[in-house]
C-alpha cells in the first residue's frame, strides 16, 4: 500500500489536472460546437482559412503554440495587457492560463468530432422542421443538436483526454508552478529530473494511463448507447 | 432549370405531373420556401409569399404550408406523438383548426403514438408524416410523391386516405406525382411539366384527352376521362349504371349515392371496335359509335377517336384497321371492356358536363 499511496506532490498534480481540464473543455464546448456547425453547414469567403486556424494547434509544435499564447495573452501581450487593464483578468502563471493552453491544444479534436457528427445529420430533417414552423435557431436546438450528441460526447471526452496530457504549451505559456500550473505531465517531467523521483513518476504514469483508458472506454460506451437511443 | 407558370383556381387537389427531372420537386420546394426562385411570384388566396420584383420572400417557417416528403422525414429521436405535435406547438392556439385526436383518428395512428419512427412500416410513417403536417393547421398542403416509396399494397392502403383527406379537410393540396393512376384518383387540376416547363394544364378530364401525354409520360396512357352521373344501382347483378347521352355505362357496383358524379377512366387499350354488333359476348358495354379520326401512334398502332355520345379512344393495331377498312365518319360499334371509376370526389363539379 505504501507504494501505491500518492504523495501530496502527486495528489496536487492530479487534482489540478482534473480541475484545469474540466474548465478547458467546458470553455471549449460553446465555441467548438458553433464552429463545427459553421464549418459543416455554411459556405463563406475565407472558410478554408478558418478551417486552417482551427487545425493549427494540431500541427504546430506545442511549444510554439505556447509561445504564441504568451505573445497574445501574457501580462505584456497584445490582448493580455488590455484584458488586465480593463477587466483585471490575467492568465500569467495561474491555472486559468493552464486551462487556456489545454483548451487551445484540444480544440481541433473537439471541432473535428462534432463537425463529423453534424455532417451526418440529415439536412432533410432540418428542412422538414422548417416547414413545420421552426425557426433556424429552434431547428438547431431541437433537431440538429440532439442528433449530434454522440459526436459532441466523443469530442468532449477526446478533448478532455488531450487536455490532461498537455505539456509543451502549458509549460511555455504559464511555466511549472506547483499548485497553479503543475499538471500531471509537468509533475511527471519534474520528477524525472530529480534524483529519487522514479517511484513518483511511475505512479503518475500509471494514473495517466488509467485516466486516458477510462476516458476512451467511457466515451465509446456512452456514445453507442446514445446513438442507439437516438435512432430509436 | 425551371421556367414554369400556372394558375389553379377553385381546385381541391392540384397535381404536378411529369417525368423524373421534369422540375416537379423544384417547384414544390420553391413553393415551400426551401429553394429561392431567381425570379417570379408565388401567390395563394390573394396572399403573396414570394415576389422577386417587390422583394417579398416570406421565410419557410412563416409560410404555414404543410409539406409531406417522399421519404417521410420523421424525427428519429422523438416518439410518434412528439413528432406529431412538433409543429402544432408552434402554431398559435387561435389558428389551430384541427384537433390532435381528430387527426390521429382520421389517419388511424392511435396505436402508434408512443412508438419510435424506426419501428414503423413505410405506410405508417407516411400517415404520421401527413398527420404531423396537418396538425400545424396549414393553409396549403404540399405532397411530394407521398406514395412513391411504398409497395403496391401500402399504396393501395394509403391512397384512399389521401382521397378522404381532400374531401374532409378543406385545405388545398399541391400534389407531385409521376404516377398517372394517382392523378386520376386524386386530382382535380393537372399541370404537366416537361424539362422544367409547363407543357399543359387544365382539369384532369381535359388533359387526359390529349395524346401528347403519351410522349411525356413515356407510357401508354391514352384514354378518355369523363364525368358521369350515377343513375341507378342493381345490387342483384352487382352493377352500377352511369348515364351519358347515348345510353348507360355499366360498371362494378359502387357505394356512392344515386345522382353523384364520378370520374371514369376508359383506357384506350380496353376499347375494341367491331363492324357489327357482336351477338353474344361477355362485354357489357357495347355502343354504336362514329369514328371521328384515326391517328398513328407508332408504326404498328393506331389511335381511333370514337363518339358514342361522349368521346372515347380506342387503341388498335394498324393491321386490324387495314383488315376492317376503318375510315373516319364510319359507323361502327365500340366495345368497352373496362371502365375504372376514380376515388376523386368531384363534388358536383366537372369540366365536361353534358348531362
pLDDT digits (tens, 9 = 90+) for B62-100: 998 999 998 889 999 999 999 999 998 888 888 788 888
pLDDT band for position B151 (50/70/90)? confident
Does the pLDDT of residue B278 top 70, yes or no?
Answer: yes
Domains B13-215 and B223-341 share a fold: no
Residue B306 has pLDDT above 70, yes or no: yes
Phi-psi group of B69: left, alpha or beta (phi > 0 → left; psi -120 to 50 → alpha; rest → beta): beta
Q: What's the pLDDT at B311?
A: 85
Which pLDDT value is given to residue B342?
82
Contact by Cβ (8 Å): B95, B35: no
What is the predicted ipTM? 0.78
Q: Looking at residue A61, what is its pLDDT?
A: 93
Q: Write down the pLDDT at residue A67.
A: 93
Distance CA A178, CA A16 (A): 9
User: pLDDT-based confidence at B213, cuts 50/70/90?
Assistant: low
Question: What pLDDT was estimated at residue B212?
Answer: 58
**Chain A neighbors of B34, CB-CB under 8 A:** 127, 130-131
Mean pLDDT of B39-56: 90
In A, which residues are within 8 Å of B116 by CB distance? 232
Q: What pairs with residue B223 in β-bridges?
A: B267
Could you please state the CATH topology (level 3) that the domain comprising B13-215 is classified under. Rossmann fold (3.40.50)
Q: What is the mean pLDDT of chain B?
A: 85
pLDDT at residue B336 greater than cutoff 60? yes
Choose the mutation target among A121, A122, A131 for the interface with B, i.e. most B CBs under 10 Å.
A131
- Where do the structural domains in chain B lie, given as residue ranges? 13-215, 223-341
Interface probe with A: pick from B34, B49, B61, most Cβ of A within 10 Å: B61
pLDDT confidence tier of residue B220, bands split at 50, 70 and 90: low
Q: Does B136 touch chain A (CB under 8 A)?
A: yes
B66 touches chain A (CB under 8 A): yes
Q: Is A135 on the interface with B (CB under 8 A)?
A: yes
Cα-flanking dihedrals φ and ψ of residue B255, to 5°? -100, 65
* Contacts of B74 by beta carbon, 8 Å cutoff, 6+ apart: B80, B83, B117, B120, B125, B128, B129, B132
Q: Which CATH architecture has domain A8-231?
A: Orthogonal Bundle (1.10)
| The three grid cell numbers given for residue B181, joined into one nine-digit string | 393512376
**Amino acid B352: pLDDT:** 44
Where are the alpha helices (H) located in chain B, listed in sequence order? 24-32, 60-63, 80-88, 100-107, 122-134, 152-168, 180-186, 204-208, 212-217, 318-324
Whether B118 sits inside 8 A of A232 (CB atoms) is yes
The separation between CA B318 and the C-alpha centre of its own chain, rounded to angstroms, equals 31
Give the closest-approach CA distance of A219 to chain B in angstroms: 20
Confidence of residue B211 (pLDDT cuts 50, 70, 90): low
Top-level class of domain B223-341: mainly beta
Question: H/E element holding A45?
Answer: none
Determine the residue of chain B that is closest to A226 in CA distance: B77
At B355 the pLDDT is 30
Of the candidates A211, A202, A205, the one whose C-alpha atom is nearest the C-alpha of residue A161 is: A211
Look at chain A and count its residues: 232
Assess A134–B contact: CB distance below 8 Å, yes or no.
yes
Contact B136 A132 (CB under 8 A): yes
How far apart CA B98 and CA B25 sit, in angstroms, is 27
Residues of chain A with pLDDT under 50: 1
Amino acid at each position: 500500500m505504501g507504494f501505491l499511496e500518492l504523495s501530496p506532490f502527486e495528489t496536487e498534480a492530479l487534482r489540478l489536472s482534473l480541475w484545469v481540464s474540466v474548465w478547458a473543455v467546458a470553455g471549449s464546448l460553446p465555441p467548438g460546437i458553433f464552429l463545427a456547425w459553421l464549418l459543416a453547414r455554411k459556405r463563406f469567403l475565407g472558410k478554408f482559412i478558418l478551417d486552417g486556424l482551427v487545425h493549427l494547434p494540431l500541427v504546430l509544435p506545442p511549444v510554439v503554440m505556447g509561445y504564441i499564447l504568451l505573445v497574445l495573452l501574457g501580462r505584456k501581450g497584445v490582448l493580455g495587457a488590455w484584458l488586465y487593464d480593463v477587466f483585471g483578468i490575467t492568465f500569467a502563471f495561474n491555472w486559468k492560463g493552464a486551462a487556456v493552453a489545454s483548451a487551445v491544444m484540444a480544440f481541433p479534436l473537439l471541432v473535428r468530432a462534432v463537425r463529423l457528427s453534424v455532417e451526418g445529420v440529415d439536412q432533410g430533417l432540418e428542412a422538414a422542421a422548417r416547414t413545420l414552423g421552426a425557426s433556424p435557431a429552434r431547428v438547431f436546438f431541437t433537431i440538429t443538436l440532439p442528433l449530434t450528441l454522440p459526436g459532441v460526447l466523443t469530442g468532449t471526452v477526446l478533448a478532455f483526454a488531450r487536455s490532461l496530457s498537455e505539456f509543451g504549451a502549458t509549460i511555455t505559456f504559464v511555466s511549472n508552478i506547483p499548485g497553479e500550473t503543475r499538471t500531471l505531465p509537468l509533475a511527471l517531467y519534474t520528477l524525472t529530473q530529480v534524483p529519487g523521483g522514479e517511484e513518483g513518476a511511475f505512479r503518475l504514469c500509471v494514473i495517466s494511463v488509467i485516466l486516458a483508458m477510462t476516458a476512451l472506454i467511457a466515451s465509446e460506451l456512452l456514445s453507442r448507447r446514445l446513438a442507439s437511443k437516438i435512432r430509436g | 432549370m425551371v421556367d414554369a407558370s400556372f394558375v389553379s383556381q377553385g381546385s381541391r387537389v392540384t397535381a404536378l405531373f411529369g417525368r423524373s427531372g421534369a422540375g416537379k420537386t423544384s417547384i414544390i420546394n420553391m413553393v415551400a420556401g426551401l429553394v429561392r426562385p431567381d425570379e417570379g411570384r408565388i401567390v395563394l388566396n390573394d396572399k403573396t409569399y414570394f415576389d422577386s420584383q417587390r422583394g417579398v420572400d416570406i421565410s419557410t417557417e412563416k409560410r404555414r404550408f404543410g409539406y409531406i416528403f417522399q421519404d417521410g422525414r420523421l424525427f428519429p429521436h422523438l416518439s410518434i406523438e412528439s413528432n406529431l405535435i412538433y409543429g402544432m406547438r408552434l402554431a398559435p392556439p387561435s389558428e389551430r383548426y384541427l384537433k390532435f385526436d381528430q387527426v390521429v383518428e382520421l389517419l388511424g395512428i392511435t396505436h402508434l403514438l408512443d412508438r419510435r419512427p424506426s419501428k414503423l412500416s413505410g405506410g405508417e410513417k407516411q400517415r404520421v408524416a401527413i398527420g404531423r403536417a396537418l396538425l400545424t393547421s396549414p393553409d396549403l398542403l404540399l405532397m411530394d410523391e407521398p406514395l412513391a416509396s411504398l409497395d403496391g399494397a401500402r399504396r393501395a392502403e394509403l391512397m384512399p386516405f389521401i382521397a378522404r383527406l381532400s374531401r374532409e379537410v378543406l385545405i388545398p393540396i399541391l400534389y407531385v406525382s409521376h404516377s398517372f393512376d394517382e392523378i386520376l384518383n386524386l386530382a382535380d387540376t393537372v399541370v404537366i411539366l416537361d424539362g422544367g416547363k409547363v407543357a399543359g394544364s387544365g382539369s384532369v378530364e381535359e388533359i387526359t384527352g390529349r395524346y401528347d401525354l403519351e410522349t411525356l409520360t413515356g407510357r401508354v396512357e391514352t384514354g378518355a376521362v369523363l364525368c358521369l352521373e350515377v343513375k341507378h344501382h342493381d345490387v342483384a347483378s352487382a352493377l352500377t349504371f352511369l348515364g351519358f347521352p347515348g345510353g348507360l355505362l355499366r360498371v362494378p357496383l359502387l357505394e356512392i349515392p344515386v345522382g353523384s358524379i364520378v370520374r371514369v377512366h376508359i383506357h384506350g387499350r380496353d376499347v375494341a371496335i367491331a363492324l357489327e354488333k357482336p351477338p353474344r359476348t361477355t362485354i357489357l358495354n357495347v355502343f354504336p359509335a362514329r369514328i371521328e379520326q384515326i391517328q398513328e401512334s407508332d408504326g404498328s398502332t393506331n389511335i381511333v377517336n370514337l363518339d358514342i355520345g361522349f368521346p372515347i379512344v380506342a387503341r388498335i393495331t394498324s393491321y386490324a384497321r387495314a383488315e376492317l377498312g376503318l375510315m373516319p365518319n364510319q359507323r361502327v360499334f365500340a366495345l368497352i371492356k373496362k371502365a375504372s371509376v376514380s376515388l376523386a370526389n368531384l363534388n358536383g363539379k366537372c369540366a365536361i358536363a353534358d348531362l
